[in-house]
Chains A and B, each alone.
Chain A
Amino acid sequence: MIPEGEWRSRVPPLAELLFKVVTPARERCFVLGDLSEEFVRMMMAGTSRRAAKWWYWQQLFGSVGPGVRRIVRRQRPGRQSRKYRPFGNCGLNLRLAWRGLTRRPLFTVVAATTLALGIGANTTVFSIVNSMLLHPLPYPEPEQLVTLNHIYPSQDLVVGVSPPGFRDYRDRTQSFESVAITRDGSATLTGAGEPVRVVGSRVSADYFRVYGVAPALGRSFLPEEDSPGNQHVLVISDGFWKLRLGGDPNVLDRSIVLNDESYHVVGVMPSGFEDFFNRDAEFWMPIALSPEQFGDDYRFTENQESVARLKPGITVAMATREVGNLAETILSELSRPSSDWSVRVTSLQEKKTAGYRPTLLVLFGAVGFVLLITCANVANLLLARAIGRQKEIAIRKALGASRGHVIGQLLAESLVLSCFGGAAALLIAYWSTGALVRFGPDVLASAEIVLDLRVLLFTLGVALVAGVLFGLAPAVQGARGDLQSTLREGGQASRADRSGNRLRHLLIVGEFAVALVLLACSGLMIRTISQLRQVDPGFNPDHVLTANILLPHARYPDATTRNAFYDQLMSELSATPGITDAATTSVLPFSGNWGTASFSVEGYVPRGDDPPIWGDIRFASAGFARAMQIPVLEGRFFDATDGPRSPPVAVVDNELARRFWPDENPIGKRVTFGDPTDPNATWFTVIGVVGHTLHAGLDDDVRIQLYFSSRQFWNHHATLVLRTDADPEAMAQTVRRAVFSVDPAQPIFDVRTMENLIEESMGNRQFLKTLLTLFSGLAILLASLGVYGVMSHTVRERSRELGLRTALGATRPALFTLVMKSGLGLAGVGSLLGVGAALMLTRLMESQLFGVDAIDPGTLFVAAGILLGVAGLAICIPANRAARMDPLENLRIE
């Protein structure tokens, strides 16, 4: 026999679920218990299962009517007790709210649109913050991943690690599970149509193991492949495999020609794998450092990026301590002073977000302010509506509604409103994030900004908080109204009216205060950008086209072949119509590339505590100063005579000359990269002094610069600098043709105008400026609409008084001035408070400013002027209406 418990479990589940819905909660368990008892009794008595189930369903059908009637009857207002149950009345309140809002579509649309703008702006900024700051890195246990950097504290210099450093961190520490290094390895791909430059990296053997990602096909590098001579193997990206090799299933048998050398494919990374240090990398090859490179001579050749995985349980702080101690040991082994060199451990997540965290946090704060203004504005609208609905509320209260009931109902209205706003905000966020990705800085395009669950929850949260924020004050205000006086006073302003007005005025003052802070912030950013634009970069970026060339080692193994290529290219380009000057440099200002080195100046002995001399190094061709229009202040720049066989020469910038030879002629002075005490050291004689040029950005710190002749230094990579007399962008194809005419297998890449590069260097600030301007524009608009609404309401309310004034002889201009004064008074007080707030808050964005103080009286003055001007325009309309009122009409209304 089937036990009773099992019969119980055979109750039709759907019918049981529906029973739960139609039965009031307080007796649900009894009803369901009764039903299952009877069901079991029937089954045990031999009733067929089908019949028992049918009986159960019949019970349900018969109970739906009585159940629903009871639920509805309980919620009917007339039957409510005076005790307010905040959640018991939820359904009813929401129904009433829906009805109330749909009855006044204009009000609903205006309020919901205002909210949608405020919440939408917040959702947009949050979705950026979400994907750029909050998303974890796409690797297993990403919190364990760190990067190591060498730092020179006195010069605020953070660089990569050197090969010996890499070996020490890998072999002489306990904190790391594995350590790897990487550097750019982009190369020219040939053998598949036109030669193209492909972005790739050189990596140490453990590179993929550190990330915790294995190739989807094949394998990663073996330790023995990471050594000179054995490194002709390649791991390729999923994109390379599918797009360039057509997804060839036999890819692991294929060889690929890069920089004229053949590489065997050993692995294909899974789709979606992203190299943290080289997002666009399509292939990886072993870095294959030679034993010499691990020697102490390379101890400070710090040009490798590093990635390491911490052992479980080891924190970044613990690793930092261990590596710091190791750095001191290394320095003592090298017998060098320990004051100005150390090693820093940073989590990869922090490294990823460090660049734009301040920008995003400023934006997040600003957009929060926009939400405050939005809430104040909608609260104002609701207050105006609550004042208009005092009669209705009074009647509700007379019929027995408690204060809780009224507050609950009004709050429900604001919550429904904010849900409308939230839904529309999602649409706005969807469009605006799309627009930002398209028109914003490049980093946004690569951040994969999506509206995910977290963004949806954020929007829901903001909508609910906003709903309570803007709904609470009007709800309490509305519920507070004095019953008798409201019903008695008829059309006249009641006490609740007056206190409601006070609240509305307070909200307007608040709106203007917040709007002024936003306006001040955007004003400071506008001034920052305009100050930056006025900075002289030290050269003339107008009409300059730049392009990059990477000569493959196989085809250009030495200085002779390389110089021959460039000589021929330069003469080809110089003969091209439209190009007035052509030159090359190893490192171009504003390109994002940089090269620094320490060197010694003849006759200059640093004091004990002084850091070694560091500076920017550029290997430039003859004509670089002319092409860039960098002024030659003394001596000369390089020319054709400064070849590999002529004496080594250097050109310095005026900063270097001022620092080391303040009262002397720099020409003929000497510098060296080697040990100055070594009789075999190569000394470079200074032949000229040029003006200092900015390098990393328009707000860059001044760092001394040294130029060497590109014909005396071997370098694979060079940037072409071409001054044109026509539109530089239109010359790109001409340049490409000129390079092909010299070497048909040589591509050029990253073809950009100099102006473009400079503009991009302001990317973060431009973005911040644009969004802050947008937000402050929105804030002004909302605040003006707010003050317009309040003044219109005031004029309507005071129509009798205005009529009396006119009857007693007040002129139209006097009435106009009266209204203007009271409106501008509110805006003025708000702006004044805003100035106070701005003095405290603008300091938070100090790191984003340039050439302007965070407390800038001029900006504040202009911001207040703009705000009051726009407010004045908004108040003009009700003021004008007041002035044109017919006094007889006004007095008759009463």
Chain B
Amino acid sequence: MQKYYFSFVFSFMQNKNEGWIMSKGEHLGEFEQMVLLALIRLKDNAYGMTIRQVIQERTDRRVPIGQVYAALERLESKGYLASRVAEPEPIRGGRSKKLYALTDDGESALALARGMMAKMAEGLELGDPEVA
């Protein structure tokens, strides 16, 4: 209890002083970054399966759909993306899709995460980044 309390006060103070520094729970993980980047790439056609396809195509990483939705829910609860249910497709038995879009907070969080990674890598000789 005590520990969380301090950590909360600490991050709150940091926020006050530095504007947008986030608490630990609000940092973006690697997969979350991939999802947000896929959203930007897909523009108006970002939904579960297309996001999964983009990630798989570009990283060759097999991603189960359940994992995509879990990440989408997490990101939405943090306010980094917004969702809306699209009109059903105009075919017989056509289904509704849940479309996702990046929010301003999401854009900032993504920029911060990428900046932090860039700062960490700055000046290091790591070779060319290759996707295995």
Report which A residues bind B (CB closer than 8 A): 5, 8, 22-23, 27, 29-31, 33-35, 37-38, 58-67, 69-70
What is the CA–CA distance of A30 and B46 in the complex, to the nearest angstrom?
Answer: 13
Q: Number of contacting residues on B, CB 8 A?
A: 20
Q: Which residues of A contact B65 (CB under 8 A)?
A: 31, 34-35, 59, 62-63
Q: Which residues of B contact A37 (CB under 8 A)?
A: 49, 95
Query: Please, what's the 1-or-0 string for B34-53, where 1 marks a CB less than 8 Å from any CB in chain A?
Result: 00000000000001110011
A242 to chain B, nearest CB (A): 59
- Could you name 28 residue pairs across A and B whose Cβ atoms are closer than 8 Å? A5-B92, A5-B93, A23-B66, A23-B69, A29-B95, A29-B96, A30-B47, A30-B98, A31-B48, A33-B96, A34-B47, A34-B97, A35-B49, A35-B65, A37-B49, A38-B49, A58-B64, A59-B66, A61-B64, A62-B62, A62-B63, A62-B67, A63-B66, A63-B67, A64-B66, A66-B69, A69-B70, A70-B73
Name the residue on A nearest B1 (C-beta): A399
The answer to whether B66 and A62 touch across the interface, beta carbons within 8 angstroms, is yes
A387 to chain B, nearest CB (A): 28
Q: Which residues of B contact A69 (CB under 8 A)?
A: 70
Picked from B69, B92, B93, B96, the residue with its CB within 8 Å of the CB of A31 is: B69
Name the residue on A nearest B65 (C-beta): A59
Picked from A33, A38, A66, the residue with its CB within 8 Å of the CB of B97 is: A33
Q: Which residues of A contact B97 (CB under 8 A)?
A: 30, 33-34
A54 to chain B, nearest CB (A): 12
Picked from A5, A33, A66, the residue with its CB within 8 Å of the CB of B70 is: A66
A281 to chain B, nearest CB (A): 62
Query: Please, what's the 1-or-0 string for B57-79, where 1 marks a CB less than 8 Å from any CB in chain A?
Result: 00000111111011001000000
Q: Which residues of B contact A8 (CB under 8 A)?
A: 93
Q: What 19 new A-B contacts, CB under 8 Å, besides A30-B98, A31-B65, A34-B48?
A: A5-B92, A5-B93, A23-B69, A30-B48, A31-B66, A31-B69, A33-B95, A33-B97, A35-B65, A37-B95, A38-B53, A59-B65, A60-B64, A62-B66, A63-B66, A63-B67, A64-B66, A66-B69, A66-B70
What is the CA–CA distance of A70 and B73 in the complex, to the nearest angstrom?
Answer: 9
The answer to whether A63 and B47 touch across the interface, beta carbons within 8 angstroms, is no
Picked from A5, A30, A59, the residue with its CB within 8 Å of the CB of B64 is: A59
Name the residue on A nearest B95 (C-beta): A33
Q: Which residues of A contact B92 (CB under 8 A)?
A: 5
Interface positions of B from 92 to 108, Cβ below 8 Å from A? 92-93, 95-98
Q: Which residues of A contact B64 (CB under 8 A)?
A: 58-63, 66
What is the CA–CA distance of A63 and B67 in the complex, to the nearest angstrom?
Answer: 6
The answer to whether B47 and A66 touch across the interface, beta carbons within 8 angstroms, is no
A65 to chain B, nearest CB (A): 8
What is the CA–CA distance of A22 and B70 in the complex, to the nearest angstrom?
Answer: 12
With A29-B96, A30-B97 as contacts: A66 and B66 at CB distance below 8 Å: yes
Most buried by B among A34, A58, A61, A67: A34
B35 to chain A, nearest CB (A): 13
The answer to whether B93 and A27 touch across the interface, beta carbons within 8 angstroms, is no
Picked from B67, B69, B95, the residue with its CB within 8 Å of the CB of A27 is: B69
What is the CA–CA distance of A33 and B94 in the complex, to the nearest angstrom?
Answer: 9
The answer to whether B96 and A22 touch across the interface, beta carbons within 8 angstroms, is no
Q: Which residues of B contact A61 (CB under 8 A)?
A: 64
Q: Which residues of B contact A60 (CB under 8 A)?
A: 64
B88 to chain A, nearest CB (A): 10
Q: Which residues of A contact B70 (CB under 8 A)?
A: 66-67, 69-70
